Structure 1
């Protein structure tokens, strides 16, 4: 009887504890929804039916007027009945006008906002540019810290596009208030923001441009969260050749020879060093880049420069650094990520501009074959052992004719470097302005520019080469 009495006491205690806990949870939930607020929790029950890899909404309390502003802004930008928008769920086709205008049905609104922009949203509502002194003025916000202004090479101020009879105004800021009167906002990778706050501050029909020249491996949330995935960017500005505004690090221009076609220069002459590698990022890479260099240095001479090296090559003094690098026959142009079309200044400036044969790795070989000068590089991913690579480099080093064959492209084409100053020069920015004006003059029924699926087009474009792992391991 005593044991039975103890058991009943324990059961009563458990029931009482559970009741108290449920009461506290219920009270907390009710309190959060009070005072004119709607609460969206990390562990809430609002999954996206249209995303395979759903990321929970960030924990945050939204006031009612914030939700009204976000949802009204969304409905003004996206037309559910547009023939250009493809629905993946038949339920969306049955959404009534009453349901569309409701602001209280937060859960259903958040669920169908994401898939609307499977092509891209249509700018139906015309927003006229500001006019001043008889010509238009387009305001462009560089959403990044002002201290980056000198690096970008474009100072705050007003500039002119003669062919458009239009001015454009450049400003820098990372405040949400700065979006208020801007026509175009360029969102820079590595700049931090909250997507919900950014959208809440976005005026109707403002153009957002995704700017990224780093690889997707370190994109720092440049791709929107699920609830904003298809309703954020209008245009892309990346190193991808099919971006709305392609901004690679360099390009090969065929038909514009660098040297006379009849010349017979010996490109090996005056080069008394074997190979060089320069890097400032010693840790972040999708493969053990520094370990690979250290292993290869046991087989042949590699001079290492930068923060990751043992020798000095002043980055701020290009002439001196270029003079140092140009003494080498080979240069390791190793990117810190293995992503499609990701070919940086390591190839274009450090190798080609210094007349060195580049040993490349980062993008797939097919991308180097498409974008680099023909027969101008050695692809590191072709070699599965240090011995075969060493033998091949020694063969080239001992044969000037073979070495010179890597420079035949100079008789047929030339190299153009593309840096910040080029990207944001007046002619380049005026192309952005011209595209904006063209969009504003379009008939609302015209098909707008399409945005790619950022997961497939951007996030999922990185891979690895088995031979590189073998080189490091063996």
Structure 2
């Protein structure tokens, strides 16, 4: 064991990190190199759509989806990939994934057979929280909110050179710079170019069978007639002044029912109408629009469950967040209103009023329901996320590490 002690010294000397990695091959990971897919995947609404949608029906369709995502990924300046001659092929047929977590319920949850996606292209990944297996694991999932620097440092001293370290971080704030020295191999996050990112907060997928036109027309008739011509908003994080300002300006031109501690409105029961409450469900189910405003509009691809929940409950999301392209890549076709498309609040309000009072225009924002559906509950999206992880463990060919994971999560869109 004594010969391994220099690792601790090297970890404390940032200038030696790269030399150490290339000479001793400390970080062996896999990153998928996909075959080229030249064909655009059309939407089922009779038009060519720039997005691509997930079909959960077969393993091959899921694999095609993961491959297509890879074609959209841009190489981050904060990732390093070793030259091809340093890569090694793997003949493994079973992968062990260790969950580095302080919450034991996580272990019970992800070891259940029901957790696995039945149509995943690969089902040869096993999850464990058994600490005796930590050095044998092919990959270690590390939750950023659970990390303890001292414990992680001790683990890094005798780090398995063939082991993949994956940082799970779904929030839009940066990691502490001190964690850069651990050179995580992969990330699991909301960013498209994270190795594991599909269905972070929600997902669009193709229906097994299209909705009957008569059934769809009836749904449109009922919702157009019964839903209020207003937008609803639930907000608890008061730090985002941009979205609060946007709300304050828009409500002067279009009716908005807002709830939460950030709203100065004594006439509503804001403390009772919170996320996940019956009140929220009722409001989303009886309003035509929802303000799906993210807490930050600067972080690339950061689109949270508020967007997906709105779609699933039948309210048209008015979005204020990352670039339009981030939404178009994952949302159903023509399903949202991008607030920054409009020159001013009056113009946006006029469009909202037009949609709310014109059945034909209202229907256009829901036509996607005929062929697609959305999911956002953890029991639905997490099996997809771990399917992608298992897929990449099986298919990758590259060795990669994040040279600066802190700046990676600070990168502005």
TM range (shorter): 0.5 to 0.7
CA distance in 2, matches of 1:461, 1:393: 33
Deviation at 1:461, TM superposition (A): 4.0
3-state DSSP class of the match of 1:208?
strand
Contact 2:166 2:184 in 1 (8 A): yes
**Corresponding residue to 1:271 among 213, 227, 232:** 227
CA distance in 2, matches of 1:128, 1:330: 49
Deviation at 1:268, TM superposition (A): 1.5
Distance 1:304 1:402, change over 3 A: same
Please, what TM-score do these two structures have when normalized by structure 2?
0.65
> Is 1:188 the counterpart of 2:150 in the alignment?
no
In the other structure, the counterpart of 1:110 is none
In the other structure, the counterpart of 1:415 is 373
In the other structure, the counterpart of 1:459 is 409
Distance 1:191 1:245, change over 3 A: same
Contact 1:334 1:362 in 2 (8 A): yes
In the other structure, the counterpart of 2:194 is 243
In the other structure, the counterpart of 1:94 is none
Contact 1:213 1:239 in 2 (8 A): yes
Alignment of 1:116-135 (within 5 A): 118-120=80-82
CA distance in 1, matches of 2:368, 2:212: 11
In the other structure, the counterpart of 1:77 is 26
3-state DSSP class of the match of 1:202?
coil
**Corresponding residue to 1:170 among 128, 131, 135:** 128
Deviation at 1:334, TM superposition (A): 0.5
Deviation at 1:374, TM superposition (A): 2.1
String of CA shifts for 1:201-255, please: whole Å, max 9, x gaps: 523322111222222xx13338942x44xxx223332233343322332233357
Distance 1:404 1:76, change over 3 A: closer
Distance 1:123 1:184, change over 3 A: farther
Structure 1 residue ranges without an equivalent (≥5): 1-35, 52-69, 80-114, 130-135, 440-446, 464-474
In the other structure, the counterpart of 1:390 is 349
CA distance in 2, matches of 1:172, 1:421: 23
In the other structure, the counterpart of 1:141 is 98
Contact 2:202 2:308 in 1 (8 A): yes
CA RMSD, Structure 1 to Structure 2 (Å): 4.6
CA distance in 2, matches of 1:279, 1:335: 10
3-state DSSP class of the match of 1:241?
coil
Please, what TM-score do these two structures have when normalized by structure 1?
0.58
In the other structure, the counterpart of 1:67 is none
In the other structure, the counterpart of 1:30 is none
> Is 1:322 the counterpart of 2:281 in the alignment?
yes
Alignment of 1:81-120 (within 5 A): 118-120=80-82
In the other structure, the counterpart of 1:367 is 326
String of CA shifts for 1:64-117, please: whole Å, max 9, x gaps: xxxxxx9699724269xxxxxxxxxxxxxxxxxxxxxxxxxxxxxxxxxxx9x8
In the other structure, the counterpart of 1:401 is 360
Aligned residues: 340
